[in-house]
Chains A and B, each alone.
Chain A
Amino acid sequence: MKNNKAAGITRREQYEQKQRRRSILVAALSTIFVIVTIVIFVPMTPGWEKVQKSFFNGVVLSKTFPKLLNAFTVNIMIFAWSAPAIAVLGLMIALARDAKSPALFPLRIFGAAFTDIFRGVPVILTVYLIGFGIPGLGLPRPWNSPFIWGSLALILTYSAYVAEIFRSGIDSVHPSQRSAALSLGLSERQVMRDVILPQAIRNVVPSQMNMLIALQKDVSLLSFIGPVEIFRQAGVYKSLFANFTPYVGAAIIFLIVTIPATRYADYLMARQMRERR
């Protein structure tokens, strides 16, 4: 095979180059087509002007955006104390479900029931039931605060999911690691703590990142039981200005946080896939 090189590249490379150019061209054309269609046809719809005024109103946006940002700190606060609590409770539930000692049997049952119940009920329902129900017991201030019970609802729901992810992480560690650790004379507890868990947690970091992103958004559900966080604040301005733009502003603020976080989670996931090959 002498003549398989033309212009210094192999015919394989030549072929791939051609294919690449082709797909770039097709992608560019179809993107332009879609954008042009939207730009031309959407403004031609009969209601466009009204929609533009009530959803994409620059004046309203600039007036409300700083206040929305301010309200977003409430979201961040609720997130900041819920996330660590979820991590701890989730891990405890995961370990409880894998407990082997017969004395811990009630714990196992509890763990299973916990995950079944809180994965099975819509988050908003849990928020309502706990957020209105427990303060209804007539607790004195500050124990009737919707912040506390709303956060608890999020913590319980998310712990159920996070626990299941931790469990899948524990299962993902090869049994030979357990054998090796046991053969050294370590106890079951030590094997779990020193050998299995560190690997399990590392394996599930990308999945847990996705849970964090979901939690960040679901904090807004607490607005239904009282706390004036960003979604509630946007609602207030919607009524005030008779305009939906504050909701778009709130969406932008969420995206500013969640897009980098999502990208980072995807990056972690991709890196893990590469490592496993």
Chain B
Amino acid sequence: MSKLELHNVVKCFGDNTVCDGINLNVDQGQMVCLIGASGAGKSTLLRCINLLEPIEDGEIFLDGEDISFPGLNPQSVRSKIGMVFQSFNLFPHMTAFENAILAPKRTKNLSKIQLTSEVEMLFERFDLAERMHNYPDQLSGGQQQRVAIVRALAMKPEVMLFDEITSALDPQLVGEVLDVLLQLKDQGMTMVLATHEMQFARQAADKICFLKDGKVVEEGSPKQIFTDPKRVETKAFLSRALK
């Protein structure tokens, strides 16, 4: 059984069908990269998995349990699925540490001491200990995004979703954030990424899915997709993206 399974997921905004029957399997510990042009439906798909957008049709399974069932309380699902956004979305009125501790403090019955030491360890692990008590506007973009990752990890999620998390960064800051992803992969985190970082996807992903117009056009190993794409659309996209 896959960790995360999507069956025929359909999402529309008005007349605009953004996800048009998407199937996707993500195994435990796998890193899956969604690639494709802007507007292909990558971000929306991630938001659907995290139940930030209700889907029109289809099912989403986490550990075999249908989490897309209408009327289900999304809170317990979201605490198992972490998400990191393109624009960081840190809470500007809280320090990095307060950002990270808010959700576990509110949703888990843990002692404050235990929580504090756990979260502090996360900051240390990702080389942010010195920045822990800074406010977001005192941090560089790369640091902010790493804090956002720590914030999501503080909930101890089973799956992590990353929505183009390096797209808003200066080129020299991209590396530090991608390093964090590699670290998470080594630790066996199950991850789904929407990304424009083709080199990274090629090196780090276990599986690549190419999306176009809300459909998965082609999926396969990075080697197969990048060196021997079967579909013309994939070829055309890659030749543009790898230029």
Contact = CB atoms under 8 A, between A and B. Distances in A.
Contacts of A184: 78-79, 82, 102-103, 151-152, 155
Nearest to B93: A198
B71 to A, nearest CB: 14
A177 B78 contact: no
A68 B152 CA distance: 60
A187 B75 contact: yes
A185 B52 contact: no
Contact of A199 (B78, B85, B93, B152): B93
Contacts, number: 60
Interface in A136-183: 176-177, 179-183
Chain B's interface size range is 20 to 34
Interface in A14-29: none
B191 interface: no
Contact of B107 (A176, A180, A183, A185): A185
A179 B87 CA distance: 11
Interface residues of A, number: 17
A interface, over-half SS: helix
Q: Which of B47, B102, B106, B148 neighbours the largest number of chain A CB atoms within 10 Å of its CB?
A: B106
A179 B81 CA distance: 13
Contact of A183 (B78, B91, B102, B106): B78
B146 to A, nearest CB: 15
Contacts of A185: 75-76, 78-79, 103, 107, 155
B92 interface: yes
22 contacts: A176-B89, A179-B85, A180-B91, A180-B148, A181-B91, A181-B103, A182-B52, A182-B74, A183-B83, A183-B152, A184-B78, A184-B102, A184-B152, A185-B75, A185-B155, A186-B75, A186-B103, A186-B106, A194-B91, A194-B102, A194-B106, A195-B102
B133 to A, nearest CB: 18
B50 interface: yes
Interface in B18-59: 47, 50, 52
